[in-house]
């Protein structure tokens, strides 16, 4: 009986040692897992901080772009207004030239017109009454037939459905 008792004690002590090892392994595994989780949490916190910083930079850039867009719109509106004002001023000046040239001698006006850019001359002719323009074109034909021909082509050109290809140069 003593032998059985001693065997039982040995068995129980071996069993107890095996159980203790298993518990230690579980503690070690739990500790390892806890360390890994803390490391992952730290990494996630770092990434979150990076993402927050990037988001802040993106928001600042977005605000800067919106501000620039607003500035560009203001400049565009100002330029548009100035172009409109300039166009109105040019129209007034052309109208004044038309009045002056309409009351001047056709031969004098023909000599002046030949020194102008053709587009300006066409703009002036197109604003004149047909009678005055005809007299000037007649005088222009006498002094500079080639220029008169170009003027006539430009004056008769009418774009058809947005066709620019026929426009004389």
Give the predicted TM-score (pTM) of the model: 0.52
As given in the structure block, the two tokens for residue 12 are 């129980």
C-alpha count within 13 angstroms, C-beta hemisphere, residue 139: 17
Domain definitions of the chain by residue range: 1-83, 104-169
pLDDT at 19: 64
pLDDT at 169: 46
3-state secondary structure string across the chain? CHHHHHHHHHHHHHHHHHHHHHHHHHHHHHHHHHHHHHHHHHHHHHHHHHHHHHHHHHHHHHHHHHHHHHHHHHHHHHHHHHHHHHHHHHHHHHHHHHHHHHHCCHHHHHHHHCCCCHHHHHHHHHHCCHHHHHHHHHHHHHHCHHHHHHHHHHHHCCCCCCCCCCCCC
As given in the structure block, the two tokens for residue 21 are 């090892």
Cα–Cα distances (Å) from 124 to 20, 21, 42, 133, 143, in that order, read 110, 108, 79, 9, 18
What does pLDDT average to in each consecutive run of 10 residues of the chain (169 residues)?
68 66 64 89 94 95 96 96 94 92 91 91 91 91 91 75 48
Token pair 């560009």 is found at 72
pLDDT at 159: 55
pLDDT at 85: 95
Are residues 135 and 110 in contact, defined by beta-carbon separation less than 8 angstroms?
no
pLDDT at 92: 94
């Amino acid at each position: 009986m003593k032998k059985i008792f001693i065997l039982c004690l040995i068995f129980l002590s071996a069993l107890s040692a095996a159980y203790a090892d298993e518990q230690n392994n579980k503690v070690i595994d739990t500790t390892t897992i806890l360390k890994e989780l803390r490391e992952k949490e730290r990494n996630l916190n770092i990434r979150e901080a990076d993402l927050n910083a990037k988001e802040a930079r993106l928001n600042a850039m977005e605000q800067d772009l919106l501000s620039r867009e607003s500035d560009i719109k203001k400049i565009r509106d100002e330029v548009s207004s100035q172009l409109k004002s300039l166009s109105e001023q040019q129209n007034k000046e052309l109208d004044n030239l038309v009045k002056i040239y309409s009351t001047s001698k056709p031969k004098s006006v023909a000599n002046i017109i030949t020194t102008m850019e053709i587009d300006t001359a066409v703009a002036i002719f197109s604003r004149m009454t047909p009678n005055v323009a005809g007299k000037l074109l007649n005088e222009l034909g006498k002094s500079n037939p080639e220029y008169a021909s170009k003027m006539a082509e430009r004056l008769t050109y009418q774009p058809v459905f947005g066709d620019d290809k026929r426009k004389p140069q």
